[in-house]
Amino acid sequence: VLTQPYTEPPESRAASLVNPTPGDSLIEIDTPALLVDLDRMETNIAGMSALARESGLSLRPHAKAHKVPELARLEVEAGAVGITCQKLGEAEVMAAAGLTDLLIAFPMVGARKIQRLIALARRVHVITTIDSLEAAAPLSQAAASEGVMIDAVLEVDVGYHRCGVDPQAALGTAQALATEFEGLRFRGLMAYEGHIYNLISVEAVEERAALSYNILGDIAARLRAAGVPVDIVSVGASAAARVAARHPAVTELRAGSYIFNDLAQIAMGGATESECALTVLATVVSTQTSERAVIDAGAKALSFVTIPGYAGYGSIRGHEGAVIDRLADEHGMISIPMAVKPFYIGERVRIIPNSGSSVINEFSDLVGVRNGTVECVWPIAARGRMQ
Amino acid sequence: VLTQPYTEPPESRAASLVNPTPGDSLIEIDTPALLVDLDRMETNIAGMSALARESGLSLRPHAKAHKVPELARLEVEAGAVGITCQKLGEAEVMAAAGLTDLLIAFPMVGARKIQRLIALARRVHVITTIDSLEAAAPLSQAAASEGVMIDAVLEVDVGYHRCGVDPQAALGTAQALATEFEGLRFRGLMAYEGHIYNLISVEAVEERAALSYNILGDIAARLRAAGVPVDIVSVGASAAARVAARHPAVTELRAGSYIFNDLAQIAMGGATESECALTVLATVVSTQTSERAVIDAGAKALSFVTIPGYAGYGSIRGHEGAVIDRLADEHGMISIPMAVKPFYIGERVRIIPNSGSSVINEFSDLVGVRNGTVECVWPIAARGRMQ
């Protein structure tokens, strides 16, 4: 039994899928479901595209925010130079769907990863991310021996303390990368200023983002002075897009969350509630007391991600004051303060998530809605492609 | 463009899938990957099966813990009377795979859900969960008009304050269910004692679990005295299985986590580390300082679920003292105290997750391993079937 993997018969997928078909109204969608307001999303895409164009920045949207190849294509059609992927598996899905210019913002480590990266680089333009010479060496050797040249950017730690070389070490590492590694073509610098998401004032966000970009600008200037060309200075966060747009050192913006926006973006001043395009549609299934309601969207729909300064796991439209304060795997528990609008069994609610990129990874399909009607259903094709 | 859903070509799934094939060694598995130690899992299944059999309890394992139909079948082959599903979508997948006795431990609310439940009840034995007469009424009407009789249990809130009627209201609600609702056959009581997972001593867990079962026993006795048959008194938590096994009121155990175990079970005294079968295999991709390492398993692999009294997002085997204390979507950041074993780039680590059922929902495939060799790869077929 153990060695015979189960293959689901085709009819069972049809039976268990509860997705609507184009033309259905919202009431016909079974819950929980992940909805995107198409008008709002298109406005968000156009807005970020215009900001980048007017600032002379290259826009390379982060596809981990949606994981849907069709949405990556919409971003490119609106003017993006290419897309960013967080994992090689995502990039493979995007390349298979026709995306041709991909930055993978993650260190490639391990023999299988390197083989797959080289295979991908033969088919599309790939930029890989390096944050250590230890990881660069086997990649360089494999690329050189296969006769492939792969573009590379050096990741710099500008304060988030995740990946990225220390700014003190960036100059030497970049010089080594640019001169000593066959098969790799040094293109510039990248950084993710994720530490700004721990701040809770817009002013602090903007100040910290600008400081991060100053660090990159300083390294780039010193590299250029040393004769190393720096074509790309790539930064990441949607919430700091306006700061990046006016900063002279930045050449490329990898904003991702902007396509939908979420409570994290609102908290950072990067969006307003009306600019949020993504919602989880859920049904109230239990209301045992006037202080508590339960919806059919739990941790497996909303995720346990939290936002500094925000209570709960998402904001319920039209129910101000109610808080989704506990999650079980499939239940969301809502606390209802006195004098707040009650919930009733069977009521359908729409929840703006804390983090769009977390929620997108929980669902298999994204339902596109316009004027209250289903227009399309997209498989979230890169969901779970973490490898 | 918007109305043309993208269909991934078959070869791209092959290219992006990095799953090993049977006979591969662990080193050939690309990461992050979800591994199950088959010897350990089989021992866990046999152990819970023996506990239930020796106690005269029916075992109805909760399939949300694994979401893999093959594992549900193994549980049934070991003696389980059927399985539990948390959502109708999971139950549909399990039924399509040949499971024939399914308790859905969630209120069925909404016209589509009711139609699907009735369709499922025509094919397999289904027990539905009721926690309000409001939700029971449309289900009853639909079942009666379709000529289907559906077994139903009443969910009672024994202290977790999620779904379930208050114990004070249970007698009256159960009597109404048993007598006034065509199409529904009242079978008994169910409860989930999830509040025990907030406790941090084994004694407190056992005491609170026993109190919960006393509540059910009291309601069952009063119902029987009133002439209402109570065939089923079903309880849920793996960590309280030993308490349930010796409690006279309990007839059925819906333990789920026991199949793999996880840090939550260890914290509750329900398992030891050597009894944990599930691990996330990850690769160290960056070590910028001796105080920090980064692995390729982030929130989308490990989830943000936390355990009261435990630091971090999982326990790294062989690296005592190191803590996965921050997660980004695809990065896990490890804090390394002084005098603790260092990490090196390319090192592969195995992580016992905080919650098996959270992690199982993040991956698409489960890799079965025995003696360091891949034996099978199971699609996690019910993953994301939240509807």
Which residue is it, tokens 């079980």?
Answer: A328
Q: Determine the pLDDT at residue A17.
A: 47
Distance between CA A320 and CA A74 in Å, rounded? Answer: 34
Average pLDDT for residues A30-49, to the nearest whole number?
98
Q: Which residues are paired to B234 by β-bridges? A: B190, B252
With an 8 Å Cβ cutoff, is B161 touching chain A? yes
Work out the pLDDT band at A156, boundaries 50, 70, 90: very high
With an 8 Å Cβ cutoff, is B377 touching chain A? yes
- Which CB contacts under 8 angstroms, 24+ apart, belong to A333-337? A333/A292, A333/A293, A333/A294, A333/B161, A333/B162, A334/A292, A334/A293, A334/A294, A334/A295, A335/A291, A335/A292, A336/A290, A336/A291, A336/A292, A336/A293
With an 8 Å Cβ cutoff, is A24 touching chain B? no
Q: Determine the pLDDT at residue A18.
A: 62
Name the DSSP letter for residue A196. G
Distance between CA A90 and CA A94 in Å, rounded? Answer: 6
Nearest CA in chain A to B167: A288
- Interface test mutation site (partner A, options B288, B289, B348, max chain A beta carbons within 10 A): B288
Q: How confident is the model over A338-359, as pLDDT tens digits?
A: 988 999 999 999 999 999 999 9
Chain A contact set for B162 (CB, 8 A): 286, 294, 326, 328, 331, 333
Distance between CA B13 and CA A385 in Å, rounded? Answer: 10
Residue B155 has pLDDT above 90, yes or no: yes
Average pLDDT for residues B82-88, to the nearest whole number?
98
With an 8 Å Cβ cutoff, is A363 touching chain B? yes
- Interface test mutation site (partner A, options B84, B329, B333, B375, max chain A beta carbons within 10 A): B329
Q: CB-based burial of residue A21 (10 Å sphere; 0-12 exposed, 13-18 middle, 19+ buried)?
A: exposed
Cβ of B283 and A109 within 8 Å? yes
Angle at alpha carbon of residue B99, lines to B156 and A8, rounded to 5°: 120
Residue B53 has pLDDT above 50, yes or no: yes
Residue A16 has pLDDT above 80, yes or no: no
Give the one of B5, B165, B362 whose C-beta lies nearest to A376's C-beta: B5
Q: What is the interface pTM, i.e. ipTM, of the complex?
A: 0.94
Cβ of B107 and A285 within 8 Å? yes
Which residue is it, tokens 């996690």?
Answer: B380
Q: How confident is the model over B336-357, as pLDDT tens digits?
A: 999 889 999 999 999 999 999 9
**Residue B328, phi then psi, degrees to nearest 5:** -105, 180
Give the one of A38, A161, A329 whose C-beta lies nearest to B292's C-beta: A161
Name the DSSP letter for residue A340. S
Q: Determine the pLDDT at residue A172.
A: 97
Average pLDDT for residues B46-54, to the nearest whole number?
97
Percentage of residues in chain B having pLDDT higher than 70:
95
Q: Determine the pLDDT at residue B142.
A: 98
Residue B7 has pLDDT above 70, yes or no: no
Average pLDDT for residues A91-96, to the nearest whole number?
97
Work out the pLDDT band at A11, boundaries 50, 70, 90: very low
Most confident of A7-11, B9-13, B221-225: B221-225
Q: Determine the pLDDT at residue A270.
A: 85
Question: Does residue A337 have a cis peptide bond before it, meaning omega lies within 30 degrees of 0?
Answer: no
Q: Which two tokens stand for residue A106?
A: 């993650």
Q: What count of Cα atoms within 13 Å lies in the side-chain half-sphere of residue A357?
A: 22
Distance between CA B370 and CA B351 in Å, rounded? Answer: 17
Average pLDDT for residues A250-276, to the nearest whole number?
94
Q: Determine the pLDDT at residue B191.
A: 98
Q: Determine the pLDDT at residue B308.
A: 82
Smallest CA–CA distance, residue B272 to chain A, in Å, is 23
Chain B contact set for A32 (CB, 8 A): 386-387
Distance between CA B343 and CA A165 in Å, rounded? Answer: 17
Return the minimum-mean-pLDDT range out of A235-249, B18-32, B90-104: B18-32
Which helix or strand (DSSP H or E) is residue A293 part of?
Answer: strand A292-295
Work out the pLDDT band at B15, boundaries 50, 70, 90: very low
With an 8 Å Cβ cutoff, is A149 touching chain B? no
Residue-averaged pLDDT of chain A:
93
Give the one of B95, B301, B377 whose C-beta lies nearest to A386's C-beta: B301
Work out the pLDDT band at A7, boundaries 50, 70, 90: very low
Distance between CA B94 and CA B69 in Å, rounded? Answer: 6
Residue A59 has pLDDT above 70, yes or no: yes
Chain B contact set for A387 (CB, 8 A): 18, 30-33
With an 8 Å Cβ cutoff, is A304 touching chain B? yes
With an 8 Å Cβ cutoff, is A25 touching chain B? no
Cβ of B387 and A73 within 8 Å? no
Residue A99 has pLDDT above 90, yes or no: yes
Average pLDDT for residues B118-126, to the nearest whole number?
97
Q: Chain A 49-88, CB below 8 Å of chain B: which residues?
A: 64, 68-70, 73-74, 77, 86-87
Cβ of B92 and A16 within 8 Å? yes
Q: How many CB pairs under 8 A join A and B?
A: 284
Nearest CA in chain B to A163: B286
Q: Chain A 220-279, CB below 8 Å of chain B: which residues?
A: none
* A217 CB-near residues (< 8 Å, 6+ apart): A233, A247, A248, A249, A250
With an 8 Å Cβ cutoff, is B354 touching chain A? no
**Residue B332, phi then psi, degrees to nearest 5:** -115, 125
Work out the pLDDT band at B202, boundaries 50, 70, 90: confident
With an 8 Å Cβ cutoff, is B299 touching chain A? yes
Residue B6 has pLDDT above 50, yes or no: no
Average pLDDT for residues A137-154, to the nearest whole number?
98
Return the minimum-mean-pLDDT range out of A16-25, B69-78, B278-287, B327-336: A16-25
Q: Determine the pLDDT at residue B322.
A: 97
Give the one of B93, B106, B286 whose C-beta lies nearest to A12's C-beta: B93
Nearest CA in chain A to B3: A376
Return the minimum-mean-pLDDT range out of A14-28, A61-75, A214-228, B43-57: A14-28
Nearest CA in chain A to B286: A163
Cβ of B96 and A9 within 8 Å? yes
Q: What count of Cα atoms within 13 Å lies in the side-chain half-sphere of residue B243?
A: 24
Residue B1 has pLDDT above 90, yes or no: no
Q: Which residues are paired to A281 by β-bridges? A: A33, A350
Chain A contact set for B74 (CB, 8 A): 1-2
* CA proximity to B257, closest of B8, B45, B112: B45
Sign for the pseudo-dihedral over CA of A108, A109, A112, A115: positive
Work out the pLDDT band at B18, boundaries 50, 70, 90: low
With an 8 Å Cβ cutoff, is B375 touching chain A? yes
Which residue is it, tokens 């152990």?
Answer: B47
Cβ of A358 and B329 within 8 Å? yes
Q: Which residues are paired to B352 by β-bridges? A: B315
Nearest CA in chain A to B381: A8
Chain B contact set for A314 (CB, 8 A): none
Most confident of A150-154, B194-198, B306-310: A150-154
Give the one of B30, B157, B305 whose C-beta lies nearest to A288's C-beta: B157
